[in-house]
Copies of this chain bind each other. A is one copy, B any other.
Amino acid sequence: MTHDTESTPDLTRNQALVFGALSGAEGPLSAYTILDQLRDDGLRAPLQVYRALDKLVEFGLVHRLESLNAFVACNHPAGDAPGESHGTVAFAICEECGGVTEFAEQDVVKRLQGWARTEGFHATSTVIELRGLCESCAPA
- Residue numbers of A with Cβ under 8 A of B are 66-67, 90, 92, 94-95, 101, 103, 105, 107-108, 111-112, 115-116, 119-135, 138
| Residues on the B chain within 8 Å of A134, using CB | 119-122
Would you list 19 pairs from A and B whose C-beta atoms are within 8 A, ordered by A residue?
A66-B67, A90-B112, A94-B121, A101-B121, A105-B111, A105-B115, A108-B112, A111-B111, A112-B130, A120-B134, A120-B135, A120-B138, A121-B133, A121-B134, A121-B135, A122-B132, A123-B132, A125-B131, A126-B131
Do A128 and B103 touch (CB < 8 A)?
no
Do B138 and A131 touch (CB < 8 A)?
no
A92 to B126, CA, bound (A): 9
